[in-house]
Amino acid sequence: MLRGKLNPGGAFKLTLENEVQAIADYENKTLADFYETQGAVLVDAFLAANLIGGTPSSRPEDLEVDPRNGTVYIAYTDHIPGSDGYPDSRIFQTAKLSSAVNAQQSSGGIYKIMEDSAGGAGQSFRWDRLIQGGEAGAENGGGFANVDNLLIDEKGGIWGVTDMSTSQHNGFKTGAQPSEREIDHSVTGTSDSLVGVFGNNWVMYIPTEGPDAGEVIPFAYGPMRCEITGPTMVGNTLIAAVQHPGEDMPLTGSQQPLQRNITMLSLEGQPFVQQRSLSLGSNWPSNIGYPLPNGSRDAGGPPRSAVIGIRPKQGSAQV
């Protein structure tokens, strides 16, 4: 709900006492009745969308347009309700609804919008879910969680990077002595701890044509406690940023590895136990050594964010 035209923008508190009159005041109106400028609409985009009946969605972190046909792809990092709203549960999987171990998980997904006219001037569109997040063995699961940024290459293939919370990686919390998060596939309701089965954040590729269309193909795996973001293609090189490796963790030089058994789903939807041994934090990229003025390399420095390029080896196929 929004204020009137003399002071466009901003919210007011809806109460039981003013509800009847407030709703009547907003019926059969357009945004022009409440905003004097387009800029005010853009500043108040979230409230303005609610005013005109926009569909409440679930953390849309990025959208990209396929230059070949104008299809819009949207990355929804997760569908879990938060303090700023509740996604439309008729569209988005907002919780794990069944105690069945392979029930659908609320781990985000990639959706697409196809306009019904060319050139972006249409006033109607169709939408579809391209692929749902969650373990590959879960119902409708694509084999990833918390997709964040997208890239559409010249062939229409989709590159995605994930942003699972670093406090969930591998089912461990952060800190000097991180405790384990319980990975229980029979839980219902909020099931975000299940993202721990995916380990670290990573890069995926999803072809949209050919025999493998719609398949999630793992491409690159990030260091401990990082987020990978901003994928960009320059020629045959994939550029991406590795943010905050080792976040909220001590340096790993003399630390003992973390050990745990973690329950995950097979491709057939059956739980099995995997043993994991992994670093507490990260010294990336000093594990390959920072160059020093004397020509040697420092392999024990602190973790640093960095921009990296990934390209095919000499003589191999194009990315």
Residue 112 CA, distance from chain mean position: 15
Q: How far apart are CA 151 and CA 144, in angstroms?
A: 16
Q: String of b and e for 50-84 (b: at least 16 CB within 10 Å)?
A: ebeeeebbbbebbebebeeeebbbbbbbbbbbeee
Which secondary structure element, helix H or strand E, spans residue 232, and what is its range? strand 227-234
User: Is a pLDDT exceeding 60 seen at residue 317?
Assistant: no
Q: Which tokens go with 171? A: 């089912």
Looking up tokens 């019926």 gives 27
pLDDT tens column, 64-109 = 999 888 899 999 998 777 776 788 888 888 899 999 999 999 999 9
What are the domain boundaries of the chain?
A: 1-54, 58-310
* Residue 252 pLDDT level (bands cut at 50, 70, 90): low
Task: Say whether 148 sits in a helix, a strand or coil.
Answer: strand
Q: Please say if the pLDDT value at position 185 is more than 60.
A: yes
| pLDDT tens-digit readout, 274-301 | 999 998 888 888 766 667 788 777 666 7
What would the pLDDT profile of 224-239 be if each residue is shown by its tens digit? 999 999 999 999 899 9
The distance from CA 9 to its chain's CA centroid, rounded to whole angstroms, is 29
